[in-house]
Every structure is written in C-alpha cells, then in structure tokens.
Amino acid sequence: MFFGMLVVVVVLAVPVLLVMALVSVSSLKRRVAALEASLASAQAGEAAPPPAAEWGNTWQEPTPQAGAFAPSAPEPEPEPEPAMEAPAPLQPVEAPPLPPLPDPLAPPPAHAIPASAPRPEAWAPAEPGFVERGIARVKQWFTTGNVPVKVGMLVLLAGVAALLKYGSDAGWFSFPPAFRLAGISLAALAGLVFAWRKRESHRAFALALQGGAIGVLLLVVFAAFKNHGLIDALPAFAISVVLIGGLCVMAVLQESRTLAILGVLAGFMAPVWLSDGSGNHVGLFSYYALLNAGIFAIAWVRPWRILNLLGFAFTWGIGTIWGVLDYAPAKFASTEPFLVLFFVFYLLLPLLYARKAATPGGARIDGCLLFGTPLVAFSLQAGLLQGERMPLALCALGVAVLYAVLARALLGRERLRLLAQGYAILAVGFATLAVPLALSAKATASVFALEGAGLVWLGLVQQRRLARW
C-alpha cells in the first residue's frame, strides 16, 4: 500500500519538477542576456538606458527574447569606475555574438499573423446560369466587332418590313405589288453581291450585309406568299430552301458561325411562316430531314456544336408538339420512318463532333446529344406505339444492340474511349429497360438479380465503384 502511494506521488511530482526547472532555466537565460547587453553597452561607452525603458511610453513591451530585457529581471546596479576600467578578467570568456539592438526611432513592429491561423476562404462568385450566359452572349455580340454595322442590319430588316407595310397601307406605291417586291429583291441581291466581294477586305461589314440581304429576300418570299398570294406554298418553300442553303454554304466557306446560326434558325422557322394550314406532316418532316442533312454536312467540316443543339431542339421540339396535337394511330406508317431517321442523325452527330473537336487530352463529348437523343426518341416511340409492351421491348433491345456495337467499335480508340463508355452505359440501360417490358415480374426480378451480380463482379475486377453501386 505504501509503495503504491509512493509511486503515485512520484508520478505527480515529476511534471511539477519539470515545469519548475524550465521556469528556472528560462529566468537564468533572461538574466544572462541582460548582463551581456549591459556589458556591451559599457564597452561601447554608451550611458543610455536600456531600450525597453525608452520605448515603454510608445507601445507595449514585446515578449522578452534573447538580447532583450524582461520585466521580472532586476536591473543591474552600475559598477564602480575602477571595475569598469579593468575588464581584463572577463576577456577569457568570449560572449556569443549579440543580435542587433532595435533602432529606437524605428516604428513598432507589426503584429504578425500566426502561421496556424486559418486564412479566410477566397470568395468565389457563383457561375452564371443558362439565362445569364445567353444574355451575356447577346450583349457581347452587340458590343464587340463592328457594332454600327450589326445594329444597322437589324434596323434595316425592321425598317424594310415596316416600310413595306406602311407604304402598302398609305397607297404610296401605285404600281403592282409584284413590281414592288421585284425591286426590293433586286436591291437585296445587289447588296448580297457587293457583300460577297468585300468579304476579305471588310469581313465584319460583309458578313452582316450578307445576313441582312438573305433576311430581306426571305421577307419578300413571305410577303409574296402570305400577303399578296403571288406564289403558291410549294414554290415559296423551294425558294426559301435555296436561300437558306446558300446562306449556310457562305457561312461554311467564310467560317462564320453567326451566318450558320441565322441560316439554321430561318430554316426551322420557314415552315411556320409559310404554312398553308394543310397539316401535311410528311412534307414538314421531309423538309426537316433535308435541313438536318444540311446540319450534318456542316458538322462534317466544322465542329459548331451550337448548330447541332439548335437542330436537336427544333426537330424534337416541333415533332413532339405535332405528335401531341395531331398524331393518330393511322399515321404510324408515315411517321415512324422519320423518327428513325432523326434518331440516326443525332446518334451520329456526337460521334462526328467528338472526332472533329478532339483536343490533345482527348475527344470532346456532347453529352446533351449523347444521352438526350435516346431518351427523347424512345419516349416518342412509346407514344407512337400507344403502350404496346412487346414492340417497345424489341425497340429497346434493338437500341441496346446498336449502342453495344458502337461501344465495341470505339473502345480500341484511345481518344474516343470516353464516348465508347457512354455508348456502353446506354447499351446496358436499354437492355435493362427491355426486361420488364417483355417479361413478367418474377422473371424480371431474376434477370435483375443476375445483372446486379454481374455488375458487382465487373466493378470488383475493374476497381470501379460505380459498377458495384
């Protein structure tokens, strides 16, 4: 018992003794430093008081360090004169090099920030959204380049349309409408030729004038068809196709994405403003197929992703609106081929874009078209089939096989490996979707269990967490 108490006392006393020893050693160091500083001042013949006494009225005394006085250290008494004149006994003891004394006239040192103090996190602005980016692009278009020409072309288009309407209402033009429209067309063609000749010396001006001239010609076609009935729907449509095709060709030759965007927008809007109300979906989808073929041809030579996205949005958007408003099961045979054709277009466009827009680090993937195309197309296919499970299951299985073939063909190409992995994911997804559409609930559960086990095994072999999840 006594031995145990002794051990406890020893254990408790050791830290206390260590603290006391450290305090004593620290006090001795301060006193030695003070003595060394006093000796150095005496040898230099300086009678000034210690620096700490001078600075006490200006700022707070810093923490005592080597070569500085401490408040707790007693001030050494001045030695008598004889002792100061005979420093010979102290010569054998060499004092360590003293740090430079601080300048009394120097400003007080700034308080240093501890290294361990957490730094405030840098404020990072939030990334702009889709609307903000669109507004920024429009603002950039109006504020960069040849701004007067760009604004002038827009004003010209609006002015020509307003002038035609006002002149027609006010009776300014006594000659027939055909002559009026012909004169405007000749002026627009002259401007187009002039802009083409200036395409190298005045590029910005020439591009803006080309777009404005094509826009005026499209307005003339619209006025001749809708307002005056001078031409029928089919000739007006054919002329519009020629104008839009010419605009896209000029855009590719001059490497002008703005002209191409204008041409694609005008192309998709042409059936809207030239519609005769007949509801001919075969003609509409045939025209959209031709327009998408033009987008595919442009993508073959220019990796302009915005054109692909515009075509995707207009094709599937207008197709969906027509399907909701006007589709009937009797139109399945005339609608299904166009659905398949559009699916093939936008199935191949991501592959074409990945090959044309490849970077040294790898191909650039258009995720919107890669994953959006099968989802939208399969949803529309389900609407066309009116909920028939087995045909829909066969469609899903066929799409899965198609994506599996594409994935297998691209896996050997290092730059397209990411695109191949996307195709593989879609193949697995559509194969999984085909199971519940074709089989019963029990069979579906069994197939899903086998598929899950296979994915877990694949994830363990390839060290991929996504497959295991």
Query: Among all chains, which residue has been given the structure tokens 């040192």?
Result: 109
Structural tokens at position 337? 């081929």
Which of helix, strand or coil describes residue 365? coil
Q: Chain-wide mean pLDDT for the chain?
A: 72
137-146, 288-297, 344-353: range with lowest mean pLDDT = 137-146
- What is the arithmetic mean of pLDDT over 147-172? 67
Predicted pLDDT of residue 237: 80
CB atoms within 10 A of CB 46: 9
Predicted pLDDT of residue 316: 92
334 half-sphere exposure, CB direction, 13 A CA radius: 13
Query: pLDDT tens, 316-369?
Result: 999 899 888 888 888 888 899 999 999 999 999 888 888 776 665 556 777 888
Q: Do the Cβ atoms of 346 and 369 come closer than 8 Å? A: yes
Q: Which residues contact 96 (CB under 8 A, 6 or more apart)?
A: 36
Query: pLDDT tens, 399-435?
Result: 999 999 998 888 877 778 888 888 888 898 888 888 8
Query: pLDDT tens, 193-238?
Result: 888 888 888 887 788 788 878 878 887 887 787 777 788 878 888 8
Predicted pLDDT of residue 288: 86
Predicted pLDDT of residue 162: 73
Structural tokens at position 393? 């299951």
CA distances from 302 to 256, 312, 360 (A): 10, 17, 18
pTM: 0.58
356 half-sphere exposure, CB direction, 13 A CA radius: 17
Between CA 254 and CA 203 the distance in angstroms is: 9
Q: Do the Cβ atoms of 354 and 419 come closer than 8 Å? A: yes
Q: With left for phi above 0 and alpha for psi between -120 and 50, is residue 120 left, alpha or beta?
A: beta
Q: Does the structure show a pLDDT above 90 at 31?
A: no
Which of 356, 260, 246, 355 minimizes the C-alpha distance to 309?
260
Confidence of residue 5 (pLDDT cuts 50, 70, 90): very low
CA distances from 190 to 217, 244, 419 (A): 11, 17, 47
Query: Among all chains, which residue has been given the structure tokens 């404020």?
Result: 123
